[in-house]
Amino acid sequence: MRATYMFGAGDVRVVDAPDPTIQQPTDALVRVTRACVCGSDLHPYHQMPPTEGGSPMGHEFIGVVEATGAEVATLVPGDFVIAPFAVSCGVCEFCRAGLQTSCVNGGFWSDAVLGTAGGQAEAVRVPLADGTLVKVPGITDSTDDPLLASLLSLSDVYGTGWHAAVKGGVKTGSTVTVIGDGAVGLLAVLSAKQLGAERIVLMGRHEARTDLGLELGATDVVAERGAEGIAAVRDLTAGGSPIVLEAVGHMPAYEQAVGIVRPGGVISRVGVPQYEDAPVGFGSLFGPNITLTGGPAPVRAYIEQLLPAVLDGSVQPGKVFDLGLSLEDTPKAYAAMDAREALKVVVSPW
């Protein structure tokens, strides 16, 4: 089959790879209908040292079950499925608690320990298929593109935005500020809106993206950054935002969050931190009793809840995909996202 591999920074290629096979009785084989490139894929795209064998890429995909191992109980060939960005068993303490990203038996795509490959390919072996995959009745390869895109967003970015809002404690009437106008930030806006937020300030400076943010529920846009951005948000929120959703992951975004959060408030992070140490002492989090929360979203926990509104079209998270390419053009998808010519790229294997 054809599959996307990264061989080093800036070096993404679509190559011939072995067809995946059932290796464990709990495996399923999934033929990919749509995959995509993640903002977090751009980190190795900037930093990865050259390697000869390359790494298989992609952790977001939807597709059709082609075969199942002997112990797979809930799926049969032909089922349409969403694959979350984490593999999870569904039965351990953490899976039962809705924290599938901490599954004691699972892991991630392109994971050496699990032996998983990536979703930017024609097909994928899915370990722990009963726990990992979510079946969606009534969907096929020929379902219309906007709906497929919205289903694809449930594999990561929509569930991640939702996690930010849930961990931030957004509820009816909340005032929320979202830092970042990438796909996750925009879907954090949508999620905050769905959870009843009344005021949603979106911090971002790419007008096409913040316009989409306004469409998805933002009430205000702040394009400034740094001290000016902090002053603008503090002014809009009369002294600070009780809930801040941080969807970037770089230190300036963390500093922005600390600068705009209201005493007693919450900073909920879902942007993968590109730092380890950060200010948390008396002058930042402790003095004003700020709560810092968030982490990798257990999107598996949210799919069933978010699916109905996606299926009936009342929300359209797939709007964050603004470019579609074929699998053979996946390297162009990385380049377009890196150059910020595309917000998020959907990849079709045909």
Nearer to a copy of itself, 7 or 94 (CB): 94
Question: Among residues 296, 317, 318, 349, which is the contact residue for a copy of itself, using CB under 8 A?
Answer: 296
CB of 230 to a copy of itself, least distance (A): 18
Counting contacts by CB under 8 A, is residue 160 touching a copy of itself? no
Burial of 308 (0-12, 13-18, 19+ CB in 10 A): exposed
Nearer to a copy of itself, 133 or 257 (CB): 257
Any alpha helices (H) in 1-144, and if so which ranges? 42-47, 93-96, 129-132
CA pair distance 330, 344, nearest whole angstrom: 12
Counting contacts by CB under 8 A, is residue 15 touching a copy of itself? no
Give the residue carrying structure tokens 């991640």.
160
> Considering only residues 74-133, where is the footprint of a copy of itself by CB under 8 A?
94, 97, 99, 101-102
CB 343 within 8 A of CB 317: no
CA pair distance 266, 169, nearest whole angstrom: 8
CB of 238 to a copy of itself, least distance (A): 9
CB of 99 to a copy of itself, least distance (A): 4
- The one-letter amino acid at 123: A
CB 60 within 8 A of CB 40: no
Question: Among residues 77, 115, 287, 308, which is the contact residue for a copy of itself, using CB under 8 A?
Answer: 287
Counting contacts by CB under 8 A, is residue 167 touching a copy of itself? yes
CA pair distance 280, 301, nearest whole angstrom: 29
CA pair distance 320, 280, nearest whole angstrom: 33
| Count of residues that bind a copy of itself according to CB under 8 A | 34
CB of 340 to a copy of itself, least distance (A): 24
Q: Which residues bind a copy of itself (CB under 8 A)?
A: 94, 97, 99, 101-102, 167, 263-264, 269, 272-273, 275-296, 298
